[in-house]
Amino acid sequence: MSALICGSIAYDTVMVFPGRFREHILPDRIHMLNVAFLVPSMKRNFGGCAGNIAYNLGLLGGRGAPMATVGHDFEPYRRWMQSAGVSLQRVRVLDGEFTAQAFITTDLDDNQITAFHPGAMGQSHVNRVPTDGSVTLGVVAPDGRDGMVQHAEQFAEAGIPWLFDPGQGLPMFDGPELLAFVDKATWVAVNDYEGQMLCERTGLGLGEIAQRVKALIVTKGAQGSVIHAGSREFTIPAARPAAVADPTGCGDAYRAGLIYGLMNGLDWETTGRTASLMGALKIAHAGTQNHRFTLDEFRGAFRAAFGREL
């Protein structure tokens, strides 16, 4: 099987301010804010949902390719993805645009100020889902608004089963639009907060949403996750991480575990635990694509975490 992961490819520039924002932002002057923060620590990471999911799926030995639009500054990311063995066949470069990028400044209290430039991501709809039989499973992750809508329609029209992962893109859509996604999707994956927002906007409960798809997966961070499939509910424990270094990208790692399980016909209890362990292995490393392991090492970690074989 081969997965097509529609979503963003982005640079994440992370800066650390060795102070506290509250000491420099005066509440009675917020209407005329003009501040600057000296950030001696800065790191540029490779990110974006499609890039992260594809990288993690590759670690598990799964066949998957991101489909995304990127800008003229993509070359460093290209070299990285090639070295990681990620297919770039469905990545389109738009010379007049920058690759999507987030500029994140964090202070000593873990408060964050983020600016996001969508760049080429806003034209993701120029890519189309192939219908030549090369794709057997799809993903619609956060991306340009038009791209998310059109790729969902294209998967459905082609009869390709697909996972709807709205993530940070969820606020772009109203209730009827979200229901249209759900009704076209095969599976839906959200975190606890996104699940609540999905319910509020659609007017449906989680159980009602679960009845419209083969499975609804809700992640709850350190509290594990719940998979609603058919008439059953599977409670998946969280795998204990070796360290908690950086939660950014854990959701994408979890989704790669889901896709691996779906592609290999694993039962939901095994699929959920595979996804859980992927999140735990990622959180122990800073950045979204800096963790590595062999499949044998993953099987050993799975055995140690859950007392069963993968």
The DSSP bridge pattern shows strands 10-16 and 100-106 to be parallel
Dist CA 244 CA 284 (whole Å): 5
* Lowest-confidence pick of 28-42, 90-104, 129-143: 28-42
- Contact of 69 with 90, CB cutoff 8 Å: no
pTM: 0.93
Residue 206 lies in a domain: yes
Residue 32 lies in a domain: no
- pLDDT score recorded for residue 248: 85
Whether pLDDT at 3 is above 90: yes
Residue with tokens 């735990």: 280
Structural domain containing residue 239: 3-9+49-95+129-306
- Contact of 301 with 293, CB cutoff 8 Å: yes
Residue 108 lies in a domain: no
Instruction: Give the CA distances from residue 292 to residues 4, 30, 125, in Å, rounded to whole numbers and listed in that order.
Output: 22, 44, 32
Average pLDDT over residues 169-184: 97
HEC profile of 188-225: EEEEHHHHHHHHHHHCCCHHHHHCCCCEEEEECHHHCE
3-state secondary structure of 76: helix
Residue 141 lies in a domain: yes
- pLDDT score recorded for residue 245: 85
Residue 90 lies in a domain: yes
Q: List, in sequence order, every residue forming a beta bridge with 115; answer none if it has no partner.
A: 103
Number of structural domains found in the chain? 1
Dist CA 301 CA 135 (whole Å): 30
- pLDDT score recorded for residue 110: 72
Q: List, in sequence order, every residue forming a beta bridge with 176; answer none if it has no partner.
A: none
- pLDDT score recorded for residue 142: 96
- Model confidence pLDDT, tens digit, residues 151-168: 999 999 999 999 999 999
At residue 139, what are phi and psi to the nearest 5 degrees? Answer: -135, 135
Residue 183 lies in a domain: yes
State percent of the chain over pLDDT 90.
Answer: 82
At residue 266, what are phi and psi to the nearest 5 degrees? Answer: -75, 155
Residue 279 lies in a domain: yes
- Model confidence pLDDT, tens digit, residues 8-60: 999 999 888 999 988 888 777 777 778 888 999 888 999 999 999 999 999 99
- pLDDT score recorded for residue 107: 85
Q: pLDDT averaged over the chain?
A: 94
CATH number at residue 234: 3.40.1190.20
- Model confidence pLDDT, tens digit, residues 46-93: 999 999 999 999 999 999 999 999 999 999 999 999 999 999 999 999
Confidence tier at 112 by pLDDT (50, 70, 90): confident
Residue 17 lies in a domain: no
